[in-house]
Amino acid sequence: MSLAQWALVTGASSGIGTDLARGLAAKGINLVLAARRQESLTALGDELAVQYKVDCRIEAIDLAEKDSAADLADRVNQLPIRILVNCAGFGFFGPFQKPDWTFYADMAQVNMVSMAQLTYLLLPAMRACKEDCYILNVGSVAGWQGVPQFAHYSATKAFVNTFSEGLAWELEGSNISVTCLQPGKTATGFFKSSGIEEGHDAYLRQGVMSAKDVAQAGLDAMFKRKAAVVTGLNNRLNVLASRMVPRHVLKHTISFLFKEFKE
């Protein structure tokens, strides 16, 4: 991977996105760091530029805005983007009708529409490139089944999981590989921002992986051109079970696991 090549990482200002950016910088790959929080992006970019001697470009953007993905694609169209990391996303844990609809519309825009649109817009340049190119989408184990109190979020991640799988098959044999990173519970600010943190310490301590380990698993799978990686043995077993057991059994299992969150 030469220094002339670049990676675009959305959602780079925190959590898994930050550690994905760090992992790419450690390989000497120049970075476009995209997220809403310019201050956090600038601090990260300065850190990586000094530590790894890579170029870091900051693009503060809100991917909840309509056609923001097109705006971002225009900003980077002169750069040789060989790696696209779609990590931007957010969720809400609680009754479906608790937030207003605008919140859910923004979630759908960030988690699904902007992700797919950015991929769509960057694909032509990747196709025209003679070098290997990579797309890494961050899905979730929550996307393998509906989750009570998490219905909208899990549905958006189901889209990411299946979109990535279909595109990976479509591009098989080309210079472009598509990998879907599917983490379970990860030590980031996600739980707090989605409203699940307080009062459920026992749940949050079980099977939690570090963002660094999750990111490394994703990058390892991406560079091996794997279509998907579920992080953690327990998560892999849970996904396997969800694909094998009847849906009515799965419903009762998931409902039992999340019964403490019922209002």
Of 151, 162, 152, whose CA–CA distance to 107 is shortest?
A: 152
Task: Kindly report the backbone phi and psi dihedral angles of residue 173, in degrees, each rounded to the nearest multiple of 5, phi listed first.
Answer: 90, -10
Of 168, 115, 118, 111, whose CA–CA distance to 140 is shortest?
A: 111
| 153 annotated active-site | yes
Task: Give me the residue label for tokens 């890579």.
Answer: 54
Inter-residue contact 41 to 8 (CB < 8 Å): no
- Amino acid making up residue 111: N
Of 139, 151, 147, whose CA–CA distance to 250 is shortest?
A: 147
Q: Strand (E) positions, the chain?
A: 6-10, 30-35, 56-60, 81-86, 133-138, 176-182, 186-187, 209-210, 228-230
**Which residue among the candidates 52, 104, 120, 153 is catalytic per the annotation?**
153
Of 152, 141, 216, 229, whose CA–CA distance to 185 is shortest?
A: 141
Q: How far apart are CA 84 and CA 76, in angstroms?
A: 11
Inter-residue contact 88 to 115 (CB < 8 Å): yes
What's the residue count for the chain?
Answer: 263
> Which residues on neighbouring strands pair with residue 133, listed in sequence order?
176
Here the tokens at position 235 are 């998560």
Catalytic (active-site) positions = 153
